[in-house]
Structures are given as structure tokens and as C-alpha cells.
Structure 1
Amino acid sequence: MDKLFIRGMQFYGYHGVFPEENKLGQLFIVDVECTLSLREAGLTDRLENTVDYAELYKDVKEVMEGKPCKLLETLAERICDRIFGRNERIDEVRLEIRKPNPPIPGHYREVGIVMERRRHG
């Protein structure tokens, strides 16, 4: 299967468990990788036979900058649901959400999650 991706998307959001995250907000970095057949697009050179990067970015942005969630897991589920709901060509989504500066003590580069989902049915 083929893959289409956008890496390093940056959004400012108000997600998190701690009150300061909901009040002050923070930077989130998101990578999305979609598994689908790109054959038809490759043979026809037509955008309607693939997934539009701009629309994919917009879908991720609307969730990331939308209603706050406590957990990255909830954000990731919402993004995956949105992607599957708007792109019937996509069979699988791999999503990575990172917080480079969460309000937790310690020395680390970033924290985050990776979620992989397959289309149901």
C-alpha cells in the first residue's frame, strides 16, 4: 500500500490536564501518515484521485485548534475520526502528536503519543 504524509505541522492549542495548559496554551507538533492506493492518481495526474494535502492539513488544524481536550489520546481519536469521515480513499492513519514544552518537571526533548487506526468495515 502507498502512503501520503504531512510532517511537522505546528499548532497552538489549549489541551492538557493541568489548568495552566488550558489557560495559557502551548505548542503541539503533529505528523500524519495515511495509507491508501495512489495508483489511480499516479496514472491520471488528477487531484480528485488522491487526498488533497491542503484539506488534510485543514482537518488536523480544526481539531487541534478547536475544542480543548485533556488527553492527547482524545485529540488523536478525533483527528483520526475526522480524516476517515472525510476521505473514503484512506485505509489507515498513523498520527503522532508531540508536546515540546509540557508543564512537567524533568529533562526531555518532548512528550507525545503515536496512534495507528484502520478504517472499520
Structure 2
Amino acid sequence: MSNAKSYIQTVALRDVKCYAFHGYYPEEQLTGIYFLVDVEVTFVHTGDTENLNHTVNYEVLNTILLEEMANSQKMLETVVRRILDRVLDTYSFLQTGKVGIRKLSPAMPGEVGHSFVELSYVAPK
């Protein structure tokens, strides 16, 4: 019987604040608004906790996130998909991934704190 332990590692960025120009309506793409972005991934940990090549570098996650947030889209669904696809392409060993974007104070009737779009990935078994 093996004593090998299997750990699931989580790496995440929370509440990354970006000013961006996403929106379905032309005026949204002209004026911009603040967004908060979350990225979370999980993978089987190799046990080597001092080697950046055996984990997910959250600086890389941040770069991907910022680059995609700078690329204006009509729909947040497109933005979360592009971020998640790039993360999965960069780190093929991921078991799960999740990207969520909150649009702060969206222009609509009432006092809406934020709208939210999230996309999740689970590796096939």
C-alpha cells in the first residue's frame, strides 16, 4: 500500500479591479466602467512547493486577465471565455478553472451593486 499523498492545489486572484470598455451598448464602449475579475484554478500538486514550474504563476494569470480586459467586447460572456481559454492553453494540467467578472454599478434602473458573469471548466475524466 502506497503512502503517497495527493493534494489539490488552488491558485486564485480575487477582485482584480480594471477600468474597461466592455458593453453591449455603444456608449458603454465609449465611457467605460469599473470591473472586478476573479480567476481560480485547481490542479494536482506535485509536492515540490519551491519550484515555480510546478505550479500556476498568478503573475501570468494577472497578465492574461489584464490583456483580455483591455480588449473591448460587447458581452462579458466573451471576455470570461477568452480569459479562461488562455489560462487553459497556458496550463494544460488544470483540473478546474473559473473566471468571473463583476460590472460595478451598471447603468440600469434601481441601485444595482454589480452584474456578474462566470464561466467554469472541469477537465474530462
Question: TM-score, structure 2 length as denominator?
Answer: 0.86
Q: Structure 1: state its 5+ residue gaps.
A: none
C-alpha displacement at 1:115, in angstroms?
A: 1.4
| CA distance in 2: counterparts of 1:109 and 1:19, whole angstroms | 22
Aligned 1:1-121 pairs, distance under 5 A: 1-42=8-49, 45-66=50-71, 68-119=72-123
C-alpha displacement at 1:91, in angstroms?
A: 2.1
1:32-82, Cα deviation, whole Å (9 max, x unpaired) = 11011233333xx1111111111110011100112x111111111101111
Contact 2:106 2:112 in 1 (8 A): no
Question: TM-score, structure 1 length as denominator?
Answer: 0.89
Runs (4+) of structure 1 moved beyond 3 Å?
Answer: none
SS in 2 for 1:30: strand
Decide which structure has the larger Cα Rg and report it.
2
Q: Which has the higher helix share?
A: 1
Contact 1:50 1:89 in 2 (8 A): no
SS in 2 for 1:41: coil
C-alpha displacement at 1:108, in angstroms?
A: 2.1
Q: Structure 2: state its 5+ residue gaps.
A: 1-7
Aligned partner of 2:3 in structure 1 is none
How many residue pairs match? The answer is: 118
| CA distance in 2: counterparts of 1:34 and 1:74, whole angstroms | 19
Deviates more, 1:100-109 or 1:51-60: 100-109
Give percent identity, aligned residues only: 30
SS in 2 for 1:4: strand
Contact 1:84 1:119 in 2 (8 A): no
| CA distance in 2: counterparts of 1:94 and 1:23, whole angstroms | 28
